[in-house]
Structure 1
Amino acid sequence: MKIFAKYLKPNAKFAVFGCMFEVVATLCNLALPLLMSQIVDDGINKLDFDYVWKSVLLMFSVAAVGMVCHIMAIKQNLKATTRFTELLKNDVFEKANKMTFSDHNRLGAAGLLTRTETDVWQMSEVTDVILSGVCTIPIYMICGSVLAFMKDAYLALLLFAFTPVIIAAVILVGRKIHPLWEIADKQTDRQNQLVRERLIGIRVIRAFNRDETECQKTNEATRKMVLNYIKANNRSGLIAPVAMLVLNVATLLIVYVGAARMQSGTGLSAADVVAVVQYVGLIMSGIMTLSWSLIFVPRVKVNVKRLLEILESESIPDATDLDKPALNGNVLFDNVSFAYADGSELVLSDVSFEVKAGEKVAIIGGTGSGKSTLVSLLLGFNKPTSGTLAFDGENVEGISGERLRTNVSAVLQKGTIFAGTLRENIGLWQDFTDEQIMEAVRDAQLEGFVSSHPEGLDFKLSQGGSNVSGGQKQRIQIARALLKKAAIFLFDDSFSALDFMTESKIRTAIKDKLAPRTVFVVTQRVTGAMNSDKIIVMDNGKVVGIGKHEELLQNCSVYNEIFISQSGRSFL
């Protein structure tokens, strides 16, 4: 397969050296039956014990050379396999990081994790089998057959009479286990997904006493996975017993026929029969190794197919426009519609509005109205299905995602807290001074939290921020966003976990600090939108109102309903 050649080629020297050592070791193993036959015929039968001792020493030397060469072959093959795995895993990981968001959503985090770990590991196992068998199997089968024929053609033909039995068994079994492994891998993805969801949402699950239900879902996925793996392994496990049975039957027939031919005066000796039996063992060993390799073919096809879903997926193109001037913050939506790749319905429909640089804009609407989808377009995570989205008059289609996000700073609805220090989480491992970070900390009303810990900015945060409150998580993310120099700032429902006083202080700080910047605040609270320069009201993926607070209360029924539901009184 091309994927093996691609990743083995950079380490071909290790594979070649390994093959050379394997050839020598294999030839040594083939020489031992011949030497044993000579010892019996020319030494033991003739009572020439001096010849026996010399031959024994020669056999020991040959066996020792074979052992050393085999060890060296294993070492070289391991180097080739390890570096094959390293290159493959690096490419898979790098490609996963460059995948489009649609492909990322299609495969899911659990599927990507399984492919990066399990499928790559399986490929490395198969690579090791290939490297160890590519030289030994042909030599065992060809040279062993030649040597067996040299001893006695009739006995050698008995061996080949049983070879089709093993090949037929392998083909029959391999044809049935391919779908089982494919189903098992899908259930492994499902199991990883459920475990991941459970670990992330453990507090919610326990709060609603849904532990048993979640365990049942995970157990069901595990049961299906295990059931298919057991079926596949049981069927593949039939090969070894069948091969051993064939080997034993062939050995018995060779001994029986050999004894008959010795009595008929053909010149065949007992040593020749013993040698042929040993060659049968070596040849059968090669056939069994080949059989196991053939069994792995259906399994590898599944692994390769799953890995190619990543390696051949569309990548986000490299940015070629990073040297262009920074954006000023003008944004235009002109009849923009958007639908996800796997959905037929429009999530956004004919959205049109214009924002001038420096304006403070609030986007308000109920759950599922399209607010966060609008944010994903502003961040370049997705492109419009139709219509025009422009920044400073330049169509977003001509702006790379990297350049766009260089000019946009965002606090997302589902933000991330990384395992690391507070400094690392706010600065994201960039070269900011403590003074710059502390300025952002003060603007995000996080100074009290920092000063309450002796470690200060070196306070250790757990993965996902499990050792801080929801409000503290949001303020860390706000500080992170404020630290970035950008033309456009997005706050997607970023104040929902804050009390009103803290939110008011942060809004004041944002208003002062980001005065010349364009600011989008996505919110469900009228109080968070009413003081904006412009309010965009969304409902069912459409813009149903644009204006200031007082104007919308009079001419936008959706905004008026939101105001009444939150304030308990009507504007009119």
Structure 2
Amino acid sequence: MDADFLRFYVATSRQLKRLESVSRSPIYSHFSETVTGSSVVRAYGRLNAFVTLNNTKVDDNQKSYYPGIVANRWLGVRIEFIGNCIVLFAALFAVIGKEQLNPGLVGLSVSYALLVTMSLNWLVRMTSDLESNIVAVERVKEYAETQTEAPWEIEDKKPPSDWPTQGNVEFRDYSVRYREGLDLVLKNLSLSVKGGEKIGIVGRTGAGKSSMTLCLFRLLEAAGGEITIDGIKISDIGLHDLRSKLTIIPQEPVLFSGSLRMNLDPFEHYSEEEVWGALEHSHLHKFVSNQPAKLELECSEGGENLSVGQRQLVCLARALLRKTRILVLDEATAAIDLETDDLIQSTIRTQFEDCTVFTIAHRLNTIMDYTRVLVLDKGQVAEFDTPSSLLSQRGIFYGMAKDAGLVQ
């Protein structure tokens, strides 16, 4: 009977534990997001909505957690009942057969019955708890079996120290998907970019613009084809050797808790003069000079004590310090004002004049003077030519420029 109870309980509690574990993560995630964006939540008066959403997630979690406790008590009652029955029958048989048994044997049988009851309870409880809590191990096992990134460095395939010297980038029948089983987000992409060219990347939502830049850093591995930079296949070299030679200014500026100097030059590769020079070109020199701490200005978590525009300029200064041959702008000016946008664009045109620049364009006017414009549509090259040629063709790019009010 114990085995039947255990089999029924374990199967139920194991599934409840899985559901409880899965529904617990959204609570932590939502709480973290709320704390991070608390100023925005208060500004828009959405306190009650976020509290209600948090309560809903907690309630969803309790729908699995509470039945787990009820199932535990269900098992406890039945185990105690079976144990008490064993003691009852041991005592009953001792009374019935008292003429044939001596008092010592009766006492021994009853005490053993009590001991068996406790041991039985402990054994069943530990067995069921082990199988319920092994769910956590299942989750760890799943993460452990997740495919890891490529090696950080490959000694026998290290590129030259001055690579890339030209900044030529070529995609050859390149295809990529986010993970196995999903559709391709880039399909047989083929294009060649010469060193020093400024390429604007445009397209509707879901066209594959950001995916293309992620592939340059090998955050996504190829499903087919290859990318070469100055004749070297990026899939053959280590990730550090590749990523250290590329620079990106992201859409959301990333700053860490610590000094401004640490955020600009975390590995202390550059001199004080070089850092101030980068601040000068990124139009932050005046702001930093007016701070009592200068370069030791303390940045709070996420750079919250700086404005969005200032954080974006810090990222620009970081890129200026590294000054690699290939620069990627992932809608870097999407969240800032037009004045700051103009500052960033003018700096990029002067300081990165001899670099290959890929810009995912949020505002089409920023790429109208670029060398060429790449129009993506459903993960494929729809148009790729100079802005003036694309406008004269009256295709997709012309339609986007018309919607933006750049042409009549």
Q: State the Cα deviation string for residues 47-90 of structure 1 (Å, max 9, x = none).
A: xxxxxxxxxxxxxxxxxxxxxxxxxxxxxxxxxxxxxxxxxxxx
Matched, 1:309 2:121: no
Of 204-213 and 408-417, deviating more is: 204-213
Task: Write the distance in 1 (CA, Å) between the matches of 2:242 and 2:46.
Answer: 42
Q: CA deviation at 1:568?
A: 5.0
Q: CA deviation at 1:282?
A: 3.8
Gap change, CA 1:226 and 1:396, over 3 Å in 2: same
Task: Write the distance in 2 (CA, Å) between the matches of 1:335 and 1:214.
Answer: 46
Contact 2:309 2:340 (8 Å CA) reproduced: no
Matched, 1:191 2:191: no
Q: CA deviation at 1:540?
A: 4.1
Tell me the secondary structure at the aligned position of residue 527 of structure 1: helix
Task: Write the distance in 2 (CA, Å) between the matches of 1:439 and 1:285.
Answer: 76
Matched, 1:285 2:285: no
Task: Write the distance in 2 (CA, Å) between the matches of 1:568 and 1:491.
Answer: 22
Matched, 1:408 2:254: no
- Out of 347, 351, 355, the position equivalent to 1:509 is 347
**1:225 alignment counterpart:** 61
Contact 1:491 1:520 (8 Å CA) reproduced: yes
Structure 1, unaligned stretches of length 5 or more? Answer: 1-164
Gap change, CA 1:173 and 1:496, over 3 Å in 2: closer
Task: Write the distance in 1 (CA, Å) between the matches of 2:206 and 2:12.
Answer: 46
Matched, 1:377 2:211: no
Matched, 1:320 2:176: no
Gap change, CA 1:366 and 1:259, over 3 Å in 2: closer
1:532 corresponds to which letter in structure 2? Y
Task: Write the distance in 2 (CA, Å) between the matches of 1:434 and 1:192.
Answer: 41
Gap change, CA 1:342 and 1:213, over 3 Å in 2: farther
Q: State the Cα deviation string for residues 212-234 of structure 1 (Å, max 9, x = none).
A: 44444433332222121111121
**2:18 alignment counterpart:** 182
Contact 1:236 1:295 (8 Å CA) reproduced: no
Q: State the Cα deviation string for residues 512-556 of structure 1 (Å, max 9, x = none).
A: 433443222222223321332333233443333333333333235
Contact 1:166 1:239 (8 Å CA) reproduced: no
Contact 1:338 1:386 (8 Å CA) reproduced: yes
Contact 1:408 1:489 (8 Å CA) reproduced: yes
1:289 corresponds to which letter in structure 2? W
Greater share of strand = 2
- Out of 521, 524, 538, the position equivalent to 2:362 is 524
Gap change, CA 1:332 and 1:251, over 3 Å in 2: same
- TM value normalised by structure 2: 0.85
Task: Write the distance in 1 (CA, Å) between the matches of 2:118 and 2:11.
Answer: 23
Of 346-355 and 202-211, deviating more is: 202-211
**2:133 alignment counterpart:** 300
Across the two proteins, how many residue pairs are aligned to each other? 403
Q: State the Cα deviation string for residues 17-39 of structure 1 (Å, max 9, x = none).
A: xxxxxxxxxxxxxxxxxxxxxxx
Tell me the secondary structure at the aligned position of residue 454 of structure 1: coil
Gap change, CA 1:209 and 1:273, over 3 Å in 2: same
Q: State the Cα deviation string for residues 245-304 of structure 1 (Å, max 9, x = none).
A: 44444444444544665x5264443xx655554444444333222111111133134222
Gap change, CA 1:518 and 1:260, over 3 Å in 2: same
2:215 corresponds to which letter in structure 1? L
2:137 corresponds to which letter in structure 1? V
Task: Write the distance in 2 (CA, Å) between the matches of 1:516 and 1:569.
Answer: 30
Summarize the alignment of residues 402-441 of structure 1 with structure 2, pairs less than 5 Å apart: 402-441=240-279
Gap change, CA 1:358 and 1:569, over 3 Å in 2: closer
Contact 1:445 1:502 (8 Å CA) reproduced: no
Q: CA deviation at 1:181?
A: 1.4
Gap change, CA 1:264 and 1:406, over 3 Å in 2: same
Task: Write the distance in 2 (CA, Å) between the matches of 1:172 and 1:526.
Answer: 63
- TM value normalised by structure 1: 0.63
Summarize the alignment of residues 341-380 of structure 1 with structure 2, pairs less than 5 Å apart: 341=179, 345-380=183-218
Task: Write the distance in 1 (CA, Å) between the matches of 2:132 and 2:227.
Answer: 46
1:467 corresponds to which letter in structure 2? N
**1:475 alignment counterpart:** 313
Identity %: 24
**1:23 alignment counterpart:** none
Gap change, CA 1:482 and 1:279, over 3 Å in 2: farther
Gap change, CA 1:267 and 1:549, over 3 Å in 2: closer
Greater share of helix = 1
**1:264 alignment counterpart:** 99
Coordinate RMSD, CA, aligned:
3.0
Contact 2:227 2:234 (8 Å CA) reproduced: yes
1:306 corresponds to which letter in structure 2? R
Contact 1:180 1:229 (8 Å CA) reproduced: yes
Summarize the alignment of residues 447-486 of structure 1 with structure 2, pairs less than 5 Å apart: 447-484=285-322, 486=324
Tell me the secondary structure at the aligned position of residue 563 of structure 1: helix
Gap change, CA 1:368 and 1:273, over 3 Å in 2: same
Gap change, CA 1:344 and 1:246, over 3 Å in 2: closer
Summarize the alignment of residues 90-101 of structure 1 with structure 2, pairs less than 5 Å apart: none
2:329 corresponds to which letter in structure 1? F
Contact 1:443 1:510 (8 Å CA) reproduced: no
Q: CA deviation at 1:332?
A: 0.6
Summarize the alignment of residues 42-57 of structure 1 with structure 2, pairs less than 5 Å apart: none
Gap change, CA 1:429 and 1:556, over 3 Å in 2: farther
Q: CA deviation at 1:460?
A: 2.5
Task: Write the distance in 2 (CA, Å) between the matches of 1:559 and 1:248.
Answer: 82
Task: Write the distance in 2 (CA, Å) between the matches of 1:367 and 1:252.
Answer: 73
Q: State the Cα deviation string for residues 156-210 of structure 1 (Å, max 9, x = none).
A: xxxxxxxxx4444323322222221111222112333333444445455555555
Gap change, CA 1:256 and 1:539, over 3 Å in 2: closer
Task: Write the distance in 2 (CA, Å) between the matches of 1:426 and 1:303.
Answer: 40
Summarize the alignment of residues 533-548 of structure 1 with structure 2, pairs less than 5 Å apart: 533-548=371-386
